[in-house]
Amino acid sequence: MGIPKFLLIASLVTIVALGYVHQQVELLRINYTINSNKDNLSVLLDQNSALVYNVNNLQAPLYLEQALLEKDVSLEIPSRWYTIGLAEAAR
């Protein structure tokens, strides 16, 4: 009777130990995933900031003026004679 009782206790201790180890491994895996997501978020936020800066620069009047001057484009305010009315498309 001593051996089956020992096997039962050893089995229970082993099951509890395996459950604990599994829990710790999952906790570590989730921690790595969270850190990876934080790093990705940081990179994406940096890229977003750079893209917003570029868009704002490209829309700036000074940049547009310089781009038009480089291409020798002159803009004028249209008079009534230059205005063209378009007919509505038939459906």
pLDDT in the model for residue 73: 82
Share of residues in the chain with pLDDT > 70 (%): 88
pLDDT in the model for residue 50: 94
pLDDT in the model for residue 86: 75
Asked whether the whole model's pTM tops 0.85, one would answer no
Residues 41, 35: contact at Cβ < 8 Å? no
More confident: 39 or 72: 39
Distances (CA, A) of 11 to 1, 6, 16, 18, 51: 16, 8, 9, 10, 59
Q: DSSP letters of 42-90?
A: HHHHHHHHHHHHHHHHHH-HHHHHHHHHHTT-------GGG--PPPPPP
DSSP tag of 91: -
pLDDT tens digits, residue range 12-56?
999 999 999 999 999 999 999 999 999 999 999 999 999 999 888
Average pLDDT, the chain: 87
Share of residues in the chain with pLDDT > 90 (%): 52
